[in-house]
Amino acid sequence: MILLGLGSNIGDREQKLQQALQLLEADGKVKIEKLSSIYETVPFGVRDQADFLNMVIRVKTCLAPTELLAKCLEVEQVMGRIRTRHWGPRVIDIDLLIFDDVQIESETLTLPHPGILHRAFVLIPLRDVAPSLPLKDGRLVEALVSGLSANSVREVRHWKNVNWDSSRKCFV
């Protein structure tokens, strides 16, 4: 199972998520299989910025993990992401969360993504896509969501249910 997390807090956030999905599928090397609802979330780390829209998607790909990461970074660049401030505002953020059972720790890629276990804005949409997925520590996503603090859960609000129409490249 290959899972990506997406977020945006600049401009038309929903449109930015949709554009990122279009660009991910554009060359046919990535196919979106399932997506979570969209959630509006309080910014993580740096609070003095607009709220994010976040989601998680499950994909199929012929790409290796490092190639998929490069594809995600390419989409961010095409969409105009400029990295000026750690955890700062971004037009789009695409994180490679899980790539099957692959475990990598390098300067450019860590799999599974090290922030999954501690970020409600990832765990809650991840539950929509893979509630029974065991994570690095062996606990299931559903159990991790149940163990989140009330404060963390309040910072992640359901915003909209969406589905993806790959033939039309849009939310339905």
Catalytic center residues: 81, 90, 93, 95
* Neighbouring-strand partners of residue 57: 4, 35
Dihedral of alpha carbons 116, 119, 125, 127, sign:
positive
Pull the structure tokens for residue 86. 């750690």
What Rg, from alpha-carbon coordinates, does the chain have?
A: 15
Q: How many CA atoms lie within 13 A of 110 on its CB side?
A: 7
Q: How many CA atoms lie within 13 A of 130 on its CB side?
A: 25
Question: Mapping DSSP to helix (H, G, I), strand (E, B) and coil, where does residue 19 land?
Answer: helix
Total H helices, total E strands in the chain: 5, 10
